Amino acid sequence: MTSNFGTDGLPTAPPVARLVDELHKLPGIGSKNAQRLTYHLIRMPEREARSLAEAILAVKEQVGFCSQCQNITDQNPCAICANPNRDQGTICVVEEPLDVLAVERSGAYKGLYQVLHGAISPMSGIGPEELKVGDLLNRLKADAADQDQIREIILATNSNLEGEATAMYLHRLLAPLEIRVTRLARGLSTGSELEYADEVTISRAFEGRQDFV
């Protein structure tokens, strides 16, 4: 006979306890939230619950990495890499797939991407070998040997310690390839006030100042 007690010792039907456990594994979901979501799902019409379950399965079955830019996609190459209207000569290197969306939302960039899936974090034991750096290098070498289209690599990693460390690493790694390597401007963000800015931000803003046009 199966026990009617969940992992917390309370009388919970095993299917309910299982769902609570599964939801609890998600980031930002504590045990109380997991219980709340579970009971919400129980009350949900079956059609909606099925649709949610199918959506989760579809993501796992149909979505993978683009072989060229390593972004998450349901086709290979992804829609951006396959689009002939995008500038094939620039690659914007970002940490996460969500960063691609942020840049796309701005509409300021029309080139290609490379997603690293993380940033160098020495204290967490995440080094360059844990990132998709090799894919970028292989892509550049293949391009140099074939069409030689790529003119510029834009390092668009975050402007925090890990992002800076990653950018510095890539800059040194790419130096022998003799391709132009640029870094996104760092300094004051739109809407920020000088009074509250830290010394590193202000000194970077001075270094990157431009002619007033």
The residue ranges that bind another protein (CB under 8 A) are 28, 120, 122-125, 127-129, 160-161, 164-165, 168-169, 172-173, 175-176, 189-193, 196-201, 203
CB 3 → another protein: shortest distance, Å? 32
Angle of the 31-43 helix axis to the 14-24 helix axis, nearest 10: 130
Q: Based on CB atoms, which residue is closest to another protein, 182 or 203?
A: 203
CB 122 → another protein: shortest distance, Å? 4
Residue 209 C-beta-side C-alpha neighbours within 13 Å: 6
CB 123 → another protein: shortest distance, Å? 5
Q: Based on CB atoms, which residue is closest to another protein, 46 or 199?
A: 199
CB 47 → another protein: shortest distance, Å? 30
Q: Based on CB atoms, which residue is closest to another protein, 32 or 60?
A: 32
Per-position b or e across 26-41, b if 16+ CB within 10 A of its CB: eeeeeeeebbebbeee
Q: Based on CB atoms, which residue is closest to another protein, 123 or 145?
A: 123
Q: Dihedral of CA 8/9/10/16: which sign?
A: positive
CB 189 → another protein: shortest distance, Å? 5
CB 132 → another protein: shortest distance, Å? 15
Q: Based on CB atoms, which residue is closest to another protein, 107 or 176?
A: 176
- Total Cβ atoms within 10 A of residue 12: 19
Paired sense of beta strands 64-65 and 72-73, if any: antiparallel
| Cα gap 24→29, rounded to integer Å | 6
Q: Based on CB atoms, which residue is closest to another protein, 88 or 201?
A: 201
One-letter amino acid at 31 equals S
Q: Collapsing DSSP states into helix, strand and coil, what is residue 123?
A: helix
